[in-house]
Amino acid sequence: MVTANLEETTVESFSDQLHGDVLRPGDAGYDDARTVWNAMIDKEPALIARCTGSADVIAAANFARDLDLPLAVKGGGHNVAGDAVCDNGLVIDLSPMNAVRVDPEAQIARVQAGATMADLDHETQAFGLATTGGIVSPTGVAGLTLGGGLGRLDRKFGLAIDNLLSADVVTAEGDLVHASESENPDLFWGLRGGGGNFGVVTSFEFQLHEVGPDVLTGRVIHPVEAAPDVLRFYRDFMTDAPDAVQCYAAFTQVPPLPEFPEPLHGQTVLVLIPFYAGDIENGRAALQPLREVGDPIADTVQPQPYTVSQRSSDDIYQEGHRNYWKSHNLEGLSDEAIETMVEHATPIPSPFTTVFLEWMEGAISRIDPDATAFPHRDAALSFTVAPKWTDPERDDELIGWAQSFHEAMAPHATDSVYANYLSRDESERVRAAYGENYDRLVEVKNEWDPENVFRMNQNIEPTG
């Protein structure tokens, strides 16, 4: 353990520089702070700095750099790859920094980097405002945004990064810089899709939009036997759908949760999750075809508070499970791709496991692929196999299932993948995740982090 090699006085003088706590193995709170969403990740940092502001982050970045300690940055800790923590190094834990300040007149939110989607939605919805963000509420705004940021509002308002106005960043040199279109524009470009490669973002400034407070959404559940017909309809419908319509589709084994009818528990089903970003009555008309296709066994689509819809999948994606994800971007959904999905998804091998399709296009695709570091502007969908389980004895079985499913889908996929969905054994796919923007990202990395201090991420290696 590195702690054994760190002089007590060194740790104490570091601790004295911080307002937040510095935790070591055995300290109260250490195990909580090193725990991330994916229970397959079990890393033991030497030190965890629970930062309360940019000053703490600067001190921590300087400390790790000067002592050449492995350095990880934890936002919401939701990354499936587990990059928010490291063994034998320092973790900058941003979770105490979760304030969100909304300017309702300007429709702008300033968001500290430890905020979760729950924090952001709670504060912005107090003013009937929102911006694009993740669909499971404990997910960190920081990691989600730095990778791109898909969400229910993305077809209407673009990705999270398309609504990012500026960010404050602690650099590898320990400086605090502001990045926007007009200040450090190369860094700002890289932050919008290039992950945590360039520094520690301490706060984000987002453009907000009028949303809700009620929105029309819910689940339309079909028996898996109906999946081919329903998915073909889904494809044709979404290809021409207005931007205000988002609809995810997911195969799942109905989990034993009260929100699902008990007779369905354990069954493999196809779920459509239509969502309308706008007036409820307009939404009823727009979503109706998605509710009329086939003969659904349940339909829970109804007006509900946007904040409730944003928490509606929290129980399915709860923490404490073992997780492994394999994802592809798709150009479209051919009949053959649908057949392959149905074949591999039947049956879904464990409760809470999902195989999900997120339709993209709309506002996302009207931005040039090189306007931000996020390159996947022409992908129609993101496809992800996401098994969940608790018994470590099932690791090989469920990881193998996800891998063979993913491989079977490869002929129907582009070569690209969303960086935020990469698992920890996929470093060879990092280039594909940054696509045609990779070379420019290397230039930005060379300028802002030539020593690769920030490497616990989907890493862009500097070339000197």
Query: Of 35, 29, 69, which is closest to residue 454 (Cα–Cα)?
Result: 69
Q: Which residues contact 157 (CB under 8 A, 6 or more apart)?
A: 131, 132, 163, 209, 277, 363
Shortest Å distance, C-beta 412 to ligand FAD: 22
Interface positions, 408-437, toward ligand FAD (CB under 6 A) = 420
The DSSP bridge pattern shows strands 22-23 and 268-276 to be: unpaired
- Whichever of 330 and 342 has its CB closer to ligand FAD, that residue is 330
Interface with ligand FAD in residues 189-208 (CB under 6 A): 195-196, 200-201
Q: What is the number of other CB atoms lying within 10 angstroms of the CB of residue 289? A: 15
Q: Single out the residue of 140, 255, 283, 435 in contact with ligand FAD (rule: CB under 6 A).
A: 140
Site membership for ligand FAD, residue 249 (CB under 6 A): no
Query: Toward ligand FAD, which CB reaches closer, 226 or 326?
Result: 326
Q: State the Cα angle at 268 between 263 and 273, rounded to 5°.
A: 90
In angstroms, give the least distance from the CB of 104 to ligand FAD. Answer: 25
- Residue 135 found at the interface with ligand FAD (CB under 6 A): yes
Query: In 3D, which of 347, 424, 354 has the Cα closest to residue 387?
Result: 354
Tell me how far apart the alpha carbons of residues 102 and 111 are, in angstroms, rounded to a whole number. 8
Q: Judged by CB, which is closer to ligand FAD: 84, or 460?
A: 84
Q: Which of 162, 84, 65, 175 is nearest to 448 (CA)?
A: 175
As measured in angstroms, the least distance from the Cβ of 23 to ligand FAD is 16
Among 142, 216, 250, 301, binds ligand FAD (CB under 6 A): 142
With respect to ligand FAD, which residue has the nearer C-beta, 89 or 147? 147
- State in angstroms the smallest separation of the CB of 129 from ligand FAD: 19
Q: What x/- string results for residues 151 through 180 when contact with ligand FAD is judged by CB under 6 A?
A: x-----------------------------
Q: Which two tokens stand for residue 408?
A: 């079977």
* φ, ψ of residue 300 in degrees (nearest 5): -110, 15
By CB under 6 A, residue 48 contacts ligand FAD: no
Question: 383: which 2 tokens?
Answer: 């496809």
| Number of residues in contact with ligand FAD under rule CB under 6 A | 37
Does 120 engage in binding with ligand FAD (CB under 6 A)? Answer: no
Of 200 and 226, CB closest to ligand FAD: 200
Give the residue ranges of DSSP H helices in 394-455. Answer: 395-409, 430-434, 438-448
Judged by CB under 6 A, the residue of 74, 192, 219, 326 near ligand FAD is 74
Does 150 contact ligand FAD by CB under 6 A? yes
Residue 174 tokens, joined: 């320990």
Q: What is the DSSP letter of 88?
A: S
CA–CA separation, 15 vs 12, rounded Å?
A: 5
Q: How far is the CB of 200 from ligand FAD (least distance, A)?
A: 4
Region for 188 from its dihedrals, namely left if φ exceeds 0, alpha if ψ lies in -120 to 50, beta otherwise: alpha
Torsion of CA 279, 282, 285, 291, to 10 degrees: -20
One residue of 70, 75, 158, 278 binding ligand FAD per CB under 6 A? 75
Name residues contacting ligand FAD, limited to 287-346 (CB under 6 A): 317
Q: Does 134 bind ligand FAD (CB under 6 A)?
A: yes
217 binds ligand FAD (CB under 6 A): no
Q: Scan residues 78-117 and list those touching ligand FAD (CB under 6 A).
A: 78-80, 83-84, 94, 113
How near is the Cβ of 160 to ligand FAD at its closest, in Å?
7
Burial class of 69 by CB neighbour count within 10 A (0 to 12, 13 to 18, 19+): buried
User: Which of 186/279 has CB closer to ligand FAD?
Assistant: 186
Q: How far is the CB of 295 from ligand FAD (least distance, A)?
A: 29
Nearest residue to 122 (alpha-carbon basis) of 94, 150, 100, 96: 100
Binding residues for ligand FAD, per CB under 6 A?
36-37, 72-80, 83-84, 94, 113, 134-136, 139-140, 142-144, 146-151, 195-196, 200-201, 317, 420, 456-457
